[in-house]
Structure 1
Amino acid sequence: MTREEAIARIKALRARAADEASSEAEAAAAAARASKIIFQFEVTEEELIERGVGGVTEAEHNAGRRYAHPTLEEAAGAIGMYAECSALFRRGANLWVGQPEDVEFALYLCEMIQAAAERAYLNHRKARFFSAPNAHYRRSFLIGFGRSIAERLWNMTSERRRSRARKGGGTDLIVVKNALIDAYMTENYPDIGHTRSRARKEPDHRAFLSGYVDAARVNLERPLCGTPAAGKIGNAA
């Protein structure tokens, strides 16, 4: 096997390991075989990264909004980590950059989390108030909802990393994905800076806590195939 053939073989094995159609045993075997060839030929991650930005895409959620939705503003970073793509803001829209299937999953999470937050707030308001509270109360509830979702996504991401580390091969795939995203950002957004969040006062504690608690009822899980029915995230109870 030549070095070029080895690199092509490694890429094919990694694709198989990442394919959701592969069984757990098949994915683990493919990742182990790829790691063995990497060690045998001393292949670097730099050699495995496709030149240019092939395979990377971007998409917006909430295009046209002046300000970010409070729940997504709070949870965007965690959504990006869990979906394995880069999370940015373009005015009030969420901008996602990554592999097509990862961007699609990030958009799915945005849609479902935002919808779940709005439904939760509407139910909360109807149950506790005769008339609508002020805008600050609503925003505080939605921020609390987003904080709870973000914390759970961080924990789920950490657990997935530990699981991949036990199986082997998963960490290398993340390195390649991140390198491709970095190359895409350098080429398409060379002067991009950190988006400054609008100044906000301290959330209403009662509203924040109510949103935080309500978010615990939402199950978060990457769909195994297709898109779950509207109104559900994963296997919602």
Structure 2
Amino acid sequence: MRILIVEDATDMAEAVAIRLGRVGMACDLADTLSDAEDFLAVQRYDALILDINLPDGLGTELLQSLRARGDRTPVLMLTALFSVDDRVSALDLGADDYLVKPFDQRELEARLRALLRRESDQKSDTLQIGKLAFSPSTLAARIGDEPLELTRREATLLGLLLRHSGQVLSKERLYDGLFTFNDTDVGLNAIELYIGRLRKKLAGAGVTIETQRRLGYRISEDA
């Protein structure tokens, strides 16, 4: 999952990015509306965490701009405002949820997971196919009753494939879900390496990660 955090309180934004990184969410940080627009011009995100008060304007202005151009990326607003009118206004403008500062990072993480589940029409936190079960919130996987040992990036890649089970995801789409702009030393071919590792670890799970030549990869249950 690729998340854009638009927040000018650098310490808080970095702390959120570190915590989300531990559960497999790759985070880019923007501290102004201008920087956020630059990121959005070149990168697709699975969700935005958007502060209302920013140095060069209001987060709601970016939210309005996104919705006006048909961008339905889930947006979680952060606000220090307690007014019900302010919160209702943000929701009416197209925000999917909001969180009042100060907040517990566990709640932010839980709300973000709920938005991502809603976006993918996922009904529970557990993704299952064949004998394989995977929990995006803990990055824990098992085959039947046996736990499956995965690195954080292997688990993140597996989660991406499972959320789009039966669909072909391009190498670029998978790369964007695993790495941020700070990971410039990692090449696109890293995806092939992680796919190879996953295939070995998923032996006996009743699932296959297929390579669709020139298109990407798809996970599906064995026939």
TM-score by length of 1: 0.24
Greater helix percent: which structure? 1
Greater strand percent: which structure? 2
Larger Rg belongs to: 1
TM-score by length of 2: 0.25
